Amino acid sequence: MNSQEARPVDGPGTEERLREAMEALAGHVHAAPDAYRTAQGEWRRRERRRRLILSVLVAVVFTLATLAGLWVLNSAPAGSGGIFNDDRTTTPSAPPVPAAPPGS
């Protein structure tokens, strides 16, 4: 058995040793003076690019849908008439009402 295998990971003092190691590591890390400004510029650039790509995609989809709709409407047979064309003969359901005589 190794000494590494014999020592339990959850043993007493493990949390304290880990905290000390992290504090020592964090003590040697220093951020660049303009790191936030640089990161913020990157975030804004990505956001602008994402919005631009989304806008172009919406415009392309809208244009394709419009063109497809116009193509479908234009490809109807010549003798079909309109979309709501009813070939049945229309007969009035009630007799026409006579006009009132002039002067009444």
Amino acid identity at 62: F
Mean pLDDT within 61-80: 86
| Mean residue pLDDT across the chain | 81
pLDDT exceeds cutoff 70 at 7: no
pLDDT at 27: 84
How many Å from the N-terminal Cα to the C-terminal Cα in the chain? Answer: 122
Positive or negative torsion for Cα 64, 69, 72, 73: negative
Mean pLDDT within 31-48: 92
Token code pair at residue 97? 């009402």
Q: What angle do CA 17, 23, 28 make, to 5 degrees?
A: 135
pLDDT at 101: 75
Check residues 35 and 55 and name the one with the higher pLDDT. 55
Distance CA 37, CA 49 (A): 18
